[in-house]
Amino acid sequence: MTTENAVADFKMFDLRGIEWTESSSSRTPSGIRVNADNSMACSAYTACIRVISDAVSALPLHVYERLTNGGKQKAPSHPVYRLLHMQPNPWQTAQEFRDWMTGMYLHYGASYAEIRPGARGAVSELWPLHSSRMEVERLENGSLRYKYREPSGKQTLYSQEQIFCLRFTTEDGVRPIPTYTLFRNAIGLAQALEAHGSTYFGNGARPGIVLESDNPIPAEAAERLREQWERMHRGPDRAFRTAVLPNGVKAHELSGSNEAAQFLETRQYQVIEICRAFRVPPHMIQSLERSTYSNIEVQGTEFVQHCLLPHLKRWEAAISRDLIVDDETYFAEHNVNGLLRGDHTSRAAFYVSALQNGWMTINEIREAENLNPIGPDGDKHFVQLNMTTLDKLGQEPPAPEPMPAPAVEVEDEESPGDDAEDAAEEEDTTDGN
């Protein structure tokens, strides 16, 4: 690609979505119109998307090679490895790309990226495409064709081999259903409650005030009295200020309190309702009134197993389908050990059990803790000596082999000549005495 062509591609490339009009949105029973744009203004809805997309993009994602012994090893030389682990296109990092793709498919029901060939092979770059501009159709031969509407109005056709696609919710397995349309009523009620709260504090913490007088008040005087009251008491920074009323004027509150209308309880319920739509534990986006360390830890594990894991599996399956040609040898996989390893005490007990039972080595434990290996000795497996297999339970242990007798030093035997010399020496000693 020449420099001029690259500049032209960047000028034509635009990730902005289609401009949404009133006709493209639907009014909910709460009176709020919910569409692709204003649904993101719902804090609970956006927070759920951010929690999932941030977690997915932060996890390590590697391409592995299957070994003949049933194991696996990282394949950094594979071209897809660099795209998913480092940089998929000239302007995005791998984390930014995965975060954007996950957010798009959680919001629109699917996300897309153009597969561009280059120096590294058929899959050299991944260029994201805005989900709102994409249409998918199934051809007679069973393959898919993608129609992308460019910002200029031009339509670009892509074959199935040219698109990397993630799907979340679909109506027929192909055409996505935007998530905000499925949960339109929950989002609309949450936004209506937020608008009510904003109006409540914007108009004063004591809404619906009526100023009543026993004496007739001229229209101009009544208008001035109303304006003075609003100027002195309207707004959150003027709430509960002391009021000084003219002679004969009384203040009455017509509307009930927010507690009577269960406003706060309803707002909390709507947060849980939207969390239910994404299967996100509520403590991930708001604080719980009743929480302990143990139940928060359990909910964190449930977040990985029941919420995050299905999205990770969709990523891995889509990579094998669209990006990896030899999927019998290579595959992509996320590493979630960092989210499941618990506190220091639990991890220490887990590692001790793994080391003593021989299914983890010292170097594998150090790698899980992001530590460097200690050398070849750290690759050895250890097992306890008193362990045996099930088929040998109840059998007498084999008799120990006899120990060899210890070596005994034997003194040299004295010759008869030596005895005669000793006797002669004794006789000489006797005669001398």
Write the pLDDT tens digit of every residue in 109-168: 999 999 999 888 899 999 999 999 999 999 999 899 999 999 888 999 999 999 999 999
Mean pLDDT of the chain: 79
Q: How confident is the model at residue 400 (pLDDT cuts 50, 70, 90)?
A: low
pLDDT > 90: what percent of the chain?
35
Q: What is the mean predicted confidence (pLDDT) over 238-245? A: 67
Question: Where do runs of H (alpha helix) occur along 35-119?
Answer: 43-58, 79-85, 94-108
Q: What is the mean predicted confidence (pLDDT) over 324-336? A: 91
Task: Name the most confidently modeled range: 1-10, 93-102, 171-180, 327-336.
Answer: 93-102
Q: What is the pLDDT of residue 47?
A: 94
Q: 228: which residues sit within 8 A by CB, 6+ positions away?
A: none
The more confident residue out of 110 and 400 is 110
Q: What is the pLDDT of residue 7?
A: 41
User: CA 353 to CA 355: how far, in whole Å?
Assistant: 6
Residue 4: is its pLDDT beyond 50? no
Q: What is the mean predicted confidence (pLDDT) over 308-323? A: 95
Q: What is the mean predicted confidence (pLDDT) over 25-29? A: 74
Instruction: Determine the straight-line distance between the first and last CA of the chain, rounded to whole angstroms.
Output: 123
Residue 19: is its pLDDT beyond 60? no
Three-state SS across 370-400? CCCCCCHHHHCCCCCCCCCCHHHCCCCCCCC
pTM of the model: 0.70
Q: What is the mean predicted confidence (pLDDT) over 380-407? A: 69
User: CA 55 to CA 52: how far, in whole Å?
Assistant: 5
Q: How confident is the model at residue 196 (pLDDT cuts 50, 70, 90)?
A: confident
Please state which of the ranges 199-208, 218-227, 236-245, 364-373 shows the lowest mean pLDDT: 199-208
Q: What is the pLDDT of residue 3?
A: 41
Q: What is the mean predicted confidence (pLDDT) over 384-388? A: 70
Note whether 314 and 166 are within 8 A (CB): yes
- The count of other CB atoms within 10 Å of the CB of residue 79 is 17
